[in-house]
Amino acid sequence: MVEKKTISRSLFEFKRVPLYGVEDDRRWKMMSPRYPSLLFHHELKSKRIKKIKSKTYHRLKNKDLKNSSLGALIDPEMAKEEAMRQEAKRVEERVTLKHKNTGKWAKRMLSRGLNVKYDGTKAAIAKQLQMNANLSRKMNSMRDGSSSDVRDDEEELRDSSDEDTPSRLIAKAKEKTLKALEDDELPNVVLMSLPFMARAIKKEKRGS
C-alpha cells in the first residue's frame, strides 16, 4: 500500500515539473484558469464540425482553406482585405444575434423588474448594451474603411450597365482601333482583317 502511494505521488510530482523552464511554467499558470475553457470550446466546435456528414460542406471548407492559404502567398493585400471582410461579417452576425437584450434571460429580467432590484443584473444588462454599442461602432468603422472602394466599384458597374450596351462596345472598339491606326500602332493588314472593317469597306463600295 505504501509503495502504491509513493508511485502515485511521484507521478503527481512528475506532472507538475515544467517542460520548458521557470518562465514558461509561470506563463502557463497565468493562463491556466482560461485555458480549460478555451480547450473545452475548441473541442465542442471540432466535434460539431465532425458530426456534419455533408461531403459538400467539407469539400467547400477544405477548398476555402486552400484558397485562403494560396491567396495569402500570392497576394497578401487581397488576403488581408478578405480577412477584414470576413471579420466585418462576423461582427455583423454577432450584433444581429446577441447583445440586444432580446434573449430569454434578458426578457425575463426586464419583465420581472429584476434589473432594477438587483445591481448585478442591472450591470449585466448594461454590459450587454455596451457590448452591442462597441460591436456596432466596430462594424461601422469597418464599413467606412472599405466604403470608398465599394462605392467606386458600384459606380463602375452602374456606368458599365447603363452605357456599355453591345452597340456602344462595338463603337468603342472601332474608335480604339482607328486611333491605334492613326498612331501607327497597327498595320493596315491587321486592321482590314477585322470583320467590322471589312463590312465598312463593303458598305462604302456599295454606296459609291
Query: Would you tell me the crossing angle of helices 76-97 and 55-74 to the nearest 10 degrees?
Result: 130
Of the listed ranges 17-21, 131-135, 194-198, the least confidently predicted one is: 17-21
In tens, the pLDDT along 89-98 reads 766 666 555 5
Domain ranges in the chain are 1-39, 89-158, 170-208
Mean pLDDT of 74-98: 68
In tens, the pLDDT along 11-54 reads 444 444 445 555 666 666 666 666 677 778 888 888 887 887 77
Mean pLDDT of 139-163: 55
Q: How many Cα neighbours within 13 Å face the side chain of 192?
A: 5
Percent with pLDDT over 70 in the chain:
22
What pLDDT does 126 receive?
Answer: 67
pLDDT of 81 above 70 = yes
Return the closest-CA partner of residue 99 out of 76, 71, 127.
127
Instruction: Determine the Cα angle at 178 with ends 174 and 179, to 5°.
Output: 115
Mean pLDDT of 68-81: 67
pLDDT of 159 above 60 = no
What pLDDT does 72 receive?
Answer: 61
